[in-house]
Structure 1
Amino acid sequence: MTPNRGLMTAVAVPLLLLGACARPGVAGEAGSPGSAAPVTESTPADPTIALRVEYRGGYVPAETIPSRIPLFSVYADGRAISEGPVTLIYPGAALPNLREIKLSEAQVRQLTADAVAAGVSSGSDFGTPGVADIPSTRISVVTAGGEQSVEVMALSEARPDDTSLTASQQAARKKLSAFVKSLHDLFAEGGSPAAAPYRAERVAVLASPYQQTDDGIVGAPVKWPAAELPGPFLNEQLRINCLTVEGAAKDEVLAAAIDANERTPWESAGKKWQIKFRPLLPDEKECADLRRQA
């Protein structure tokens, strides 16, 4: 069984309820939301976001929030990145399975138009279902009229007979869910264009003191090959530290982590650390960029 790790983490690990604050709904004026923003296919490595889908909040361990990876990130230059399927084992692999495809200018324009047609625009009403502890899905798209975004609680989990939702809200949710499914289909095995591994220029390393659990799993310690852990605080209250590796240091870290799992203890500065690896996306440059997740 190979679920998406982002969804699996968001809905299957009931450890700590984190009340995450919602981001603003719309940036800029509405203008003509159905018109995609200009995209220049010949512009190399443009990290401007054209479309993003990500989870927010939910009943998950607070320390996992900064390492969350958006479900889909589509950039103005045609790059599209998503987390691929992972094997359902415990502990899971240390490195996430990020996949990348290259879309044409026409495809990017069509996706942004499809997002707006599916309801990603100011004033869309998706209601609030009678469920708790489920992540909301935030979808943002850049149009000629500015950024449009919606945040929908329990987009796929609400029951068809939920009396908290009107018929029109149920219909709006169904339409938006179909759009999200179309994005999943883009990355499906055998899809066109074919997905390839995403090669991040930088990787954020979120470290915390290693704690032995009652699951009986004790991995062999691995010597940390880069700058000493744990790095500066990303969130002092939650005791989450983060440092960024790039260049030759990043390559050494990835080589050391390829056979590691989520419970592997890493040795640095005379201590053992537990690490979550978060490859930074093209619009992310440093650990501080991960604070948007909270």
Structure 2
Amino acid sequence: MNAVAGKVALITGGGAGIGLCYAKELLRNGLKAVTLAEINKENGHNALKQIQDEFGPDKAIFVKTDVTDKGQFEDAFKTTLEKFKNIDILINNAGIMNDAVWERQIGINFVGTIYGCLLALDNYLIKYRTDREGIVVNVASISGLERFQAFPIYAGTKHAVIGLTRAWGMDMHYSRTKIRFLALCPGVTDTPLLHDCLERNLGPAYQDIMKGHLPHLTIQSPENVARALIKVINEGQNGSVWVAEHNETYEIDIPSRQQLRIRMKDPDL
């Protein structure tokens, strides 16, 4: 199964790092075209040139987009339709790791993701997809599955993204929308989010915690995460949560509280 071939995708934060790698990997797997929705104008133009050089003209457009502004986000959808006539896949990838500006961080990581999901559900993927199914991939993090002491607010936004994905990934939503929701949780990845991370937290105590973590981190390439994205899109069931780390891609089974209660009563189950 190739759920990517012949489709049109919109990627937030698509101008650099993992987002740009997502765009290239999707195109290598037969994507018809991609919109790079990116707040940094220089990154956006550089990314567009890279894609044009590798894949030729008319495979991508750049739209300057602040995902915390719903109007700008919607303009990215509208521009995609004007250029490519359809939109099938939304990758909510834009994010920052900066607890020092936590209000802005929540706006980008969580509110921006909500805006993208609502725009997809209320109008764009539900009406303008190529085939019977649209796909939304919300990019979270392994910190959304753990207790990340050094960046608690960042971790909170990623826990929220996972919860959001699982809620919209219920069958009752899919039956009316035919939009499949997936969460992808990259492990520690060599991206701008990792650079100078000691300067982007709540203060000296959190910096000390992060310094203790750094020597033990295994860092993967963004290309590894991009390859994982293809697997997740092709194989992921609606509402599923996936991890990409250490050159592995695997699904996480998150039990319900009822299942946990049963296991506590009978640990042998």
TM-score range, shorter chain: under 0.3
Structure possessing the higher relative contact order (Cα contacts under 8 Å, 6 or more residues apart) = 1
Q: TM-score, normalised by structure 2?
A: 0.25
TM-score w.r.t. the length of structure 1 is 0.23
The structure in which a higher percent of residues are helix is 2
